Structure 1
Amino acid sequence: MAPKEFTLTPAYDRVVVTGGGSGIGRSVALAIAATGTGVYVLGRRVARLEETVRRGAGLPGRIVPVTCDIRAAETVAAAFRTIEEDGGPAQLLYHSAAAAYGSLAEDITPEGFAHVVQSSLVGAFHVIHRWAEPLIGAGLPGACVAVTSALASRETPGVAHSSASKAGVEGFVRSAAREWGRYGIRLNTIGPGPFPSEGTDELWEQGGIRARMESATALGRLGTEAEIAGPSLFLLSDAARYVTGVSLPVDGGLRLAQWTVHSPAESVSP
């Protein structure tokens, strides 16, 4: 559940969460709903979104599923129109949707690289840009947090395509934060380290990566859902109202280690 000190601003009564059907997106969506704030969970798979709604039953905040493929600008626009018809622009955005798979750089195909970039970088642009448009037009402030990676700013053999995309998201968010600050719109990124999720479990089982991740962190363990939800809500909340253009790593000290997902000599199956 969300830490009480990071209760969201009452005036910002709705949050859009992409990737809300699984992993970090689902965890943060439930933490937001626990504060009493309404949440729109966006994703491609209806069943997963409905599972988030089911898990949030009984929480004070309403959870509304909205199907959306962030790779296509027109479906993103349609999703935000649905949200805006339900009460105007949502002033808070948590963008966690992305795509990744393990592969050494020499094995990445043009199609595979394009798929990851389209989902993780172009998709982030579609969502963040469309979210901000009505806020700028109406003169409304807002706050956005985009999920990247604690290792986005360093070499990450084995996921070069994902690393490139995450670094691109951080670059876009910093630039937009500089431009949109005059509108009262804050944008930050959060860089998770090793957190258990549906999207990473298969990758972690290859070559003992899970054990290496645990031993590489300064704290010697994986993170928990509450440990990513707390910093996420902080960046969305008024407690961070003077914070913008920041990339916050939440990784148990993983970035302090001389460590990578795979050594360059390892073979990785997509």
Structure 2
Amino acid sequence: MGPFRPDLLKGKTVLVTGGATGLGRAMAEGFARHGASIALAGRREEKLQEAAEAFREAGHDVFVQSCDVRDPSSLSALADALDERFGGVDVLVNNAAGNFISPTERLSPRAVDAVLNIVLHGTFYATLEFGKRWIAAGRGGTMLNIVTTYAETGSGFVAPSAAAKAGVLALTRSLAVEWARYGIRQVAIAPGPFPTEGAWARLAPTPELAERMADRIPLKRVGDKQELADLAAFLVSDYASYLNGEVVTIDGGEWLQGAGQFNSLLEVTPEQWDRLAELTRTGGKGQ
């Protein structure tokens, strides 16, 4: 159950983008366990329905709708549906993201756009859609943005992600001041390595890379999704109502160990990059 009372989020409706899988789903499950009504948005309908079934079997109130955060009209349709279903939402978790490792000189403009359009534009579009509705309705809310430890430092080999997440971090801090007068609070989490099936296959597609990532963490382990879910539950709760514009790092001390989560990839040879590119395209299969 975690360290909090079961009704910590009772009466709140939480929307999690990219919430059908991975860390988004883990956070959503944590919110549900603490009494929140849950809305999940994502591009893959089959994953949304799988998650919805699991939530309902656990006795949780859940609503799912396919949505592409890169498309403002898709977000508007989602917001309309949530207004009809719940009368709006109280918490927006901007979790939808995309990332992969690559030498920057190998990137095409399309590859850059693939990350920026989801991470930066998608977060901004969702923030605008729901923020404008909250302001027009005279209701407050909380926005939780998922950034990364290298949003402030940058990191080699994930330059589009670093740039996009830096933009999300700037957005978080900018609106913490601008929208506080409307009762809208901004917070963010900067996770270190948290293994998930999808992201891990793209960022650590070999056992050697996964072991190296864990070894650089002072605690000598990667994060557990429950640890992230507990932190997220606190940040969107009323007990954190005086936290605004704050970014909480949860990485086992990795950021202090050395900035740039992927800088160690300088040791990877061009031939190894060719192999890694193949593995990331196949989701880590064929090892």
Correspondence for 1:89: 88
Higher helix proportion, which one? 2
Structure 2 spans left out of the alignment, 5+ residues: 281-287
Which structure is richer in relative contact order (CA contacts within 8 A, separation 6 or more)? 1
Note the alpha carbon deviations across 1:125-179, whole angstroms, 9 max, x for none. 1111111111111111111101111222113111111111011101011101110
Kept after mapping to 2: 8 A contact 1:217/1:253:
yes
Aligned to 1:55: 54
Matched, 1:39 2:38: yes
Is the Cα–Cα contact under 8 Å of residues 149 and 191 in structure 1 kept in the other structure? yes
1:116 Cα deviation (Å)?
0.8
Percent identity between matched residues is: 32
Provide, for residues 207-260 of structure 1, a one-character-per-residue CA deviation record: whole Å limited to 9, x for no partner. 722111211112110111111001111110011100011111111111011263
1:260 aligns with 261
Give the Å deviation of 1:119: 0.8
Aligned residues: 269
1:77: how far off?
0.7
4+ aligned runs moved over 6 Å, structure 1: none
Structure-2 separation of matches of 1:7 and 1:100: 35
Tell me how far apart the structure 2 counterparts of residues 55 and 193 of structure 1 sit (CA, whole Å).
27
Give me the TM-score of the superposition, normalised by structure 2: 0.89
Letter of the 1:263 partner, please give it.
L
1:193 aligns with 192
In the TM superposition, 1:3-152 aligns within 5 A as 3-5=3-5, 7-11=7-11, 13-152=12-151
Deviates more, 1:192-201 or 1:118-127: 192-201
Distance 2:236 2:230 in 1: 10
Counterpart CA distance in 2 for 1:59 and 1:244 is 32
**1:33 Cα shift?**
1.2
Deviations 1:10-65 (A, max 9, x none): 34x21101111111101011111111211000000011111212222343431111
Which 5+ residue runs of structure 1 have no aligned equivalent? none
TM-score with structure 1 setting the length: 0.94
Matches within 5 A, 1:222-233: 222-233=222-233
